[in-house]
Homo-oligomer: A and B are copies of this chain.
Amino acid sequence: MPQVRRNVVIVGAGFGGLSAARELAKAPVNITIIDQQNHHLFQPLLYQVATASLTPAEIAVPIRHVLRSQNNAQVIMDRVVGVDTKSQNVTTESGRTVPYDTLVVATGARHSYFGKDQWADHAPGLKTLSDALALREKILTAFEKAEIVVDSDPEAAKRFQTFVVIGAGPTGVEMAGAIAELAQSVMRDFRKIDKANNRIILLEGGPRVLPSFAQDLSQRAEADLQALGVEVRTGTMVTDIVAGKVTTDQDSIAAETVIWAAGVQASPAGKWLSLPVTGSGHVPVDATLRPQGFENVYVIGDTARHEADGTALPGIAPVAKQMGIYVGRRLAALARGQTPSKRFRYSDAGALATIGRNSAVADIYGMKVKGFAGWLLWGAAHVYFLIGFKNRLFVMLHWLWLYVTWQRGVRLIMHREPDRHAERTS
């Protein structure tokens, strides 16, 4: 008595969506995974692409390729524009209608400028490979421009040599440390600009860096950042950002490169589903990761707001991954007529952040690890979680190369020319 295989549609192939799909590999269901990108991105290392340590290909892998042997899964590269929960269809930008029996929404988050969207042009954030390449280009071009103008306009050169990172969570801390190291390593290749004029400033509204970490790890991270030459300014609120200038509640900073690592909001999935959402756009879900009133819709990862013991889970990769695994197992059990586990439980392995060469802070299963040991742990954990053996191998080789030689391999500025047919070199 063969059953009709039910359609599971997964929107988003980040950590959450991909984990759900893989967990369903042997389940008797048809999976369709829809993403507007063709690749799964290892976001925790995105800042290393932005700071010229890794190449895009080392932290991204085609979704199709990850699922190539999974015969019950098909991949559609398209952008979802709406969901009709009555007729149980997903609509895409290219006009396609994809019917579902069960829908898994794993669409992640985007930057939030707390209503100041005009800041976005001057203080880009870091979510996609395009963001990372644009930022890499901006940072590397800043040094080139400083070198050009330093004789005629030393103040402008200083502005080009000043980098402001807003927000001192893990992304902001890692970004500031990586820029400090990049600045140090590229300076050897320039003839005119003065190393002493490089400024990397990390702004944080709260009282300490890495607020989600233990107090002593925050202190160690701050000390390590300062040792790298980063000016750490906690308790500082940004009040305005315009081209070339960041204004805070205390002073203003002339800087051509400003990076936003301060806020995120969930993707518009709540709107598609006509659901109540939190102020930051997150969809509240119950213990089985479903929004209230939906039997066959799951919302996971950075899009969801799930409370465990009264506090919301953070928007980090391990949470998304574990949610994806839970939903995958749950749907597999249901497809087989078994009883699924009653509730999602997050197993918190801890947190890790790296500050630079030889230094990281980690809080793993209650153990606090700092400095070089923390850095080794950080590297091992990140290589371990990279998808695909080839990527692991190449990232390890690349890091080893960087470590031994201090040479950044990916210092390429690949701007699209204003005129596509302009000559190759000026």
Contacts and interface: CB of A to CB of B under 8 A. Distances in A.
Interface of A: 11-14, 17, 34-39, 41, 55-57, 60, 62, 64-65, 68, 74-81, 92-94, 96, 106-111, 117, 120, 124, 127-131, 133-134, 140-141, 144, 147-149, 186, 188-192, 267-268, 390-391, 394, 397-398, 401, 405, 407, 409-417, 420-426
A77 B148 CA distance: 8
A417 B65 contact: no
Q: Among A11, A390, A401, A426, find the residue whose CB has the most chain B CB atoms closer than 10 A.
A: A426
Contacts of A148: 76-78, 94, 96
A426 B80 contact: yes
Q: Among A13, A36, A76, A124, find the residue whose CB has the most chain B CB atoms closer than 10 A.
A: A36
Contact of A93 (B391, B415, B416, B426): B426
Given A129-B414, A191-B74, A411-B65, A110 B423 contact: yes
Total copies of the chain: 2
Nearest to A147: B76
Contact of A425 (B17, B81, B130): B17
A14 B423 CA distance: 12
Contacts of A416: 130, 134
A267 to B, nearest CB: 3
A424 B38 contact: no
Contacts of A35: 425-426
B425 A107 contact: yes
A120 B56 CA distance: 28
Contacts of A390: 401, 405, 407, 409
Contact of A397 (B131, B186, B397): B397
A398 B397 CA distance: 12
A41 B420 CA distance: 17
A268 B68 contact: no
A37 B425 contact: yes
Contact of A426 (B107, B131, B144, B401): B107
A424 B120 contact: no
A134 to B, nearest CB: 8
Contact of A421 (B55, B111, B424): B111
Contacts of A394: 394, 397-398, 409
